Amino acid sequence: MTDSMRINRYLALCGFGSRRAVENLILAGVVTVDGETVRDLGRQVSEGAKVKVEGKPAKPPAEHEYVLLHKPAGYLCSATDPFGRPTIYDLLPEKFRKLHYVGRLDFNSRGLLILTNDGGLTHTLLHPSSAIHRTYKVWTRKPMTEKELLRLSKGVDIGEEELALPVSLKELDDHVEIVLREGKNREIRRMLEVLDHKVVDLQRIRFGGLGLGDLPEAEFRHLSAPEIARLHGKKAK
Query: Which residues are designated catalytic?
Result: 106
Q: Which of 122, 115, 9 is nearest to 65 (CA)?
A: 115
The three-state DSSP-derived secondary structure of 115-140 is EECCHHHHHHHHCHHHCCCEEEEEEE
User: CA 5, CA 112: separation in Å to the nearest integer?
Assistant: 31
Q: Partners of 171 in the beta sheet?
A: 176
> DSSP string spanning 190-231?
HHHHHTT--EEEEEEEEETTEE-TTPPTT-EEEPPHHHHHHH
The one-letter amino acid at 76: L
